[in-house]
Structure 1
Amino acid sequence: MPLTLTWVKDLQFTAADDAGHGIVVESRKEGAAAGFTPMQLLLAAAAGCMAMDVVSILKKKRLPLRGFTVAMDGDRAADHPRRFTEMRFTYTAVGAIPQADLDEAIR
């Protein structure tokens, strides 16, 4: 899984994979809001991994999933290193999905 991170300017970088997909990574302190912060990417990556598993499980059960959204937020430590102390994910499934099946897929 080769990736490269290239400095653009100030605290702005581009990350790219070997297939040519790219994303802007920056600090909001110096950046122009052109991309995600590293901590936002960490939340999105965690939610993306979970969402792919949940959608895959619901599809394997042949449930009528028409849409799926994950809202995410997190709290960070006040002092450095400012790691996440808590992450919260709220899942919304669209379709006639029994709550028990959704809960099981999320677990």
Structure 2
Amino acid sequence: MTHQVRTKWLGKMQFESTNPSGDLMTIDAGPENGGEGKGLRPKALMLSALAGCTGLDVASLIEKMKLDVADFTIETEGELTEEHPKTYHTVRVDYHFYGNNLEPKKLEKAVNLSVEKYCGVMEMFRQFAKVEIKIHYHTL
């Protein structure tokens, strides 16, 4: 399988990029780098891709395991190297589960299946960064 996106320059530091589904997103640099901040930043998009990939896995497993989760968020943070090209050397992924009937052992299994087996973006990140995982449970 091959994924293809098309990215078109809109002027200044702004681009419009397609997704294989045809959806569009805008990419732009911040003012500190000559952009207008009217779009998503490329490196931050990598963190979003990581969160989205593992999030889809975990959401699917929550449904398959019939778990009672009221809400679920993923906070992803990447630390960049000092020298150019700046790359992520450490990435933290915090899973936050909210609900009154959470089952921590099953949710931990769901996260671990994503992290260790299913999430291809997670595996790509592991090729160049240390990935740290934490799970947090919140009662409503």
Q: What is the TM-score with the length of structure 2 in the denominator?
A: 0.71
Q: How far, CA to CA, are the matches of 1:106 and 1:36 in structure 2? A: 27
Which whole-Å CA distance do the structure 2 matches of 1:51 and 1:18 have between them?
Answer: 19
Query: Would you say how many aligned residue pairs link Structure 1 and Structure 2?
Result: 107
Partner of 2:5: 3
The answer for the alignment partner of 1:35 in structure 2 is 39
Moved more, 65-74 or 41-50: 65-74
Q: Which runs of 5+ in 1 are unaligned?
A: none
Q: CA deviation at 1:72?
A: 1.3
How high is the sequence identity, in percent, across the aligned residues?
A: 26
Provide the aligned C-alpha RMSD in A: 1.3
Deviates more, 1:56-65 or 1:17-26: 17-26
- Cα-to-partner distance string for 1:14-64 (whole Å, 9 max, x where unaligned): 111354311111221111111111001000000100011111111111111
CA distance in structure 1 between the partners assigned to 2:22 and 2:65 by the alignment: 34
Is 1:104 the counterpart of 2:78 in the alignment?
Answer: no
Gaps of 5+ in 2: 113-140
Q: Structure 1 residue 77 and structure 2 residue 77: aligned?
A: no
Question: Which range is displaced more, 86-95 or 47-56?
Answer: 86-95
How many Å separate the matches in 2 of 1:18 and 1:106?
26
Which whole-Å CA distance do the structure 2 matches of 1:5 and 1:31 have between them? 16
Amino acid at match of 2:38: A
Q: Secondary structure in 2 aligned to 1:65? A: coil
Which one has the bigger strand percentage?
A: 1
Larger proportion of helix: 2
